[in-house]
Structure formats: structure tokens, C-alpha cells
Structure 1
């Protein structure tokens, strides 16, 4: 079954960790996802093989490989490129690379992406995260390079959402609730959203387009910063946000939601670096069973690309 709309929720730096209460903020912090997916969905042992399981007709859980045969720890630019293109980018360039794409990664992105596949098939594409003025100023001056996901959207002529889009409800804050706009960016007038309200907004936005991407980077940022208390707060927000997205889509008929990551980090707070762990794959909605057997992030990207290219 081909869904009418596809929502890709990208979680930067979120892997499958050990059941370690002292270092894994997911332990005992995801009651809503546990109820939906089964307790232990987000735990695993280092070195275990990737795999998927269909929990019910429109709900799939998987643990997939972000390394894909290339030595070293996975990085954001190549991992995101592999997801957005369906091509094993790290293999193509011979190494893991990040955080921002270099010329070789951008060349792989230029071969075609989920955005270009959807656009070529006549579908509308949406980037569901709003950015502040300082972000656009940094891009224009060359002080900031777009992420692989942002680059893929810009390559099709997409306009990244701004402050006005956030206020008008046409996009979300990258931290889900908008707290970062208030505390870190000084936009005190930005209304805060609960994780549930943010999920509801994203569902409405996604159903109005063929392909929608939500890019969440706070998980990797906090993983590098090393604050366990902040990590627990991130996980609590994600539990409420993701569970509503999955539960609603698993019962629906039009929208397929896919959630995954480029590499691990947040699940192992005893270090401030990426991990070599598998990453979660969560798929809900019509056609979720088509993700059975996917084992790598590039497999997942290719599967999404094929879906978007079909009528």
C-alpha cells in the first residue's frame, strides 16, 4: 500500500543502548512508548544484528545499522545523506564525515533525494522546522553550512521556514516545544507548545503534503554536552511527542510516519561522543509492513525514496 503522505522524523544522535540506569536516559523514561512498542524496545546489546518486527499491521519496530561496513564511528553528514538519498554515502566517499557535508557528500546529495523524488512525482514537499533570522544570516555570509537534510531541501528550490512560519503554525521549533526560541534566542513572545500539541501540529502539516521532514538535533547536542539531567528532559519530551505521532498514524489511513537516526549518542551518556550502536526504526501507518527486513539506514532511505517516486 502506498500512503498518501510520508512524514520522516529525523532524530540526530539517538541509538539503541544498554539497560544502564546510570548512563542511558531512556531507562524508565519512556512510559508512553513502552506501552505502545513494548518494554525494552529501546535497549540492545552492542554487536547484535539489525532486524525488524511487525508489532501489528500498521506498526513496525526495528534496530538498524548506521555504520554499513565503513570503519570508524558514524557521523552526521554521511548518515543524513544516506537517509535522504538511499545511497550508502559513507561507502561512496570512503569514510564517515560530519557534522556538515563537504563537497563529496554534497555531490552524493546532488544525485537525487527523497525531496527530489517526491517533487518529480508531482508531490508537495515540506520542511517542518522553523529557523531564526540569525540562521539565515549565517547561511548568507558563509559562516554556516546547511546540514545534509537542509541541503537536500534547498537543492529542490525549497524555502526553509522562518520566524513568521513558526508564529503562523506553518512549522515547529526544532526542539518541539519552542522553549529554545524563548530561552536561547530571546524570542519571548513565542508561545510554548506541549509535546502533544506539537505532534498534533506536525500531523496536520504532514497530511497536507506528499513528503514532510522534521529535523530534531537536540538529542545529539545534549549527548555531546553530557548533561544527564538535560538528556532525561529530552527523552521525556520525545516520549510524549513520538508516541502520539505513532499511535495516531498506526490507526490512520493516509499518513505513514517513519522515525530513525543517523548514529547513536544520547543513549550512552558516559561518553560525549557518537557510538557504534544500532539506531531505532519506528514506522507507523499504511504500508508500514513494507519496511520489514530493512537493515541499514541507506536501505531505509531507498525504501522511502521508492515510495515517494510511486504514484
Structure 2
């Protein structure tokens, strides 16, 4: 059996209030859980498991510690005694490089991959200021998928699932539909034990909206 981790940063189980929660305003058969729900069953025999992202640490959950926890199994917020926003700190990087789920799968002899495409410019520009998911992949030395190769060949997905956001910066990126991205992910998973895909633009959009309000 193969397992796909589709990581959508910025989505959580909220109130059943259309004014606050887009999942209450636009009903989805795939994600229909609210904080007051009694039924957490999902389509195709699935189940939604409410999870407290605070990890027993006071304050609001944040990206760096939350993502480190997801990709390592280590309670990063508890380790840091705080919720850390943005990119992983040197301490969190060490955790990702030693405890990455991709590294553990590789040591078990399993095949894993990261479906998102990268640009080489990303690494040149950012140095060691990389995302938690990137460090988790680097730990296992799993080959990255690139804009100018795998993405063009239909063997990777753009970070926004369509390529529309990326095309502003990389004109050669092809525009595809979310359904086409789904087919690419399914195709890649056929030859893997585990696959991960990360979608972060929901968090980015929320940040932009807050800044605009300020």
C-alpha cells in the first residue's frame, strides 16, 4: 500500500460560520468537519481526525515548529518551548536532518518522493534559509524535482498546483489544472511507498490579507 501526504498549510477545523470559515460558506464533500461536528467521516471510507496543533505549548501554532513536527514526529514546539514562525532555526534544522520521515523511509528500504518542483534559483537565493519540507527532503538525499525538467515533463507539480503563481516569475512554466496535478501525483505514487506534496499558498494568502488590513 502506498501513502500520500498532501500537506495544505493554513487549513484547519473551524467554526460552522460562513462569515469566518470558507468551508462553511462553500460546502465540500471532502472536508466537512467543524469544531462542533459529531461525524468526522469523510468520502471514500476516510476519516477526519481533529488534532490540537498547539502540541501542549501555550500560544498560537506556527509554521517552523509545526512543520518540523509533521515531518519528523518530534514535538518541535515542546523542544523549543515556544512556537516558531517562518523558517526552521538551526536547532530545528538539526532535528529535520536527523529525524526526517523521508530519511527513515529510506533507511527502511522504502521508496519515497517529494512531488513539488523546485527552481535552482531557490537554493542559490536562499542559502540555508530553506523551508522545513526542503530540509526534510535534503536529509534523505532524495532527488529534487526541477522546474526546467520534471515539471515540464509532467513528473512534478507546481507549488500552487496550477503554475499560475509561478508563471509570474518563470514564464516557461506551463499552466495546468488542479485535476491535472492530481493525476500527476497519482501517477508518481504508483511507483512509490510514500509521496509528499506541499501547498503553502493558503498561508501566504492569509498573511497578505492581514497585512492589507493593517
TM-score normalised per structure 2: 0.88
Describe the shift of the 1:52–1:118 C-alpha distance in structure 2 as closer, same or farther (beyond 3 A): farther
TM-superposition CA deviations, 1:251-287 (whole Å, max 9, x none) = xxxxxxxxxxxxxxxxxxxx89xxxxxxxxxxxxxxx
Q: What residue is the counterpart of 2:141 in the other structure?
A: 157
The secondary structure found in structure 1 opposite 2:198 is strand
Alignment pair present for 1:92 and 2:83: no
The secondary structure found in structure 2 opposite 1:134 is helix
The secondary structure found in structure 2 opposite 1:106 is helix
- The structural deviation recorded for 1:222 is 0.5
The secondary structure found in structure 1 opposite 2:118 is coil
For residue 59 of structure 2, the aligned residue among 58, 72, 76 is: 72
Measure the CA separation in 2 of the matches of 1:198 and 1:57: 20
| Residues 55-204 of structure 1 mapped to structure 2, 5 A cutoff | 55=42, 58-139=45-126, 142=127, 145-163=129-147, 164-182=149-167, 184-187=168-171, 189-204=172-187
Measure the CA separation in 2 of the matches of 1:124 and 1:52: 35
The secondary structure found in structure 1 opposite 2:197 is strand
Measure the CA separation in 1 of the matches of 2:181 and 2:164: 12
Q: What residue is the counterpart of 1:16 in the other structure?
A: 13
CA contact 1:18–1:44 (8 Å) conserved in 2: yes
Q: What residue is the counterpart of 2:193 in the other structure?
A: 210
For residue 43 of structure 1, the aligned residue among 34, 47, 51 is: 34
Name structure 2 gaps, 5 residues minimum. none
TM-superposition CA deviations, 1:140-186 (whole Å, max 9, x none) = xx2x611111101101112322111100111100100111122x214
The secondary structure found in structure 2 opposite 1:27 is helix
Measure the CA separation in 1 of the matches of 2:18 and 2:39: 25
- The structural deviation recorded for 1:57 is 7.8
Measure the CA separation in 1 of the matches of 2:135 and 2:197: 14
Bigger share in strand: 1
- The structural deviation recorded for 1:55 is 4.9
Describe the shift of the 1:79–1:137 C-alpha distance in structure 2 as closer, same or farther (beyond 3 A): same
Moved over 3 A (4+): 51-58
- The structural deviation recorded for 1:52 is 8.4
TM-score normalised per structure 1: 0.62
CA contact 1:9–1:215 (8 Å) conserved in 2: yes
Q: What residue is the counterpart of 2:23 in the other structure?
A: 26
| Residues 286-297 of structure 1 mapped to structure 2, 5 A cutoff | none
Describe the shift of the 1:209–1:168 C-alpha distance in structure 2 as closer, same or farther (beyond 3 A): same
CA contact 1:52–1:60 (8 Å) conserved in 2: no
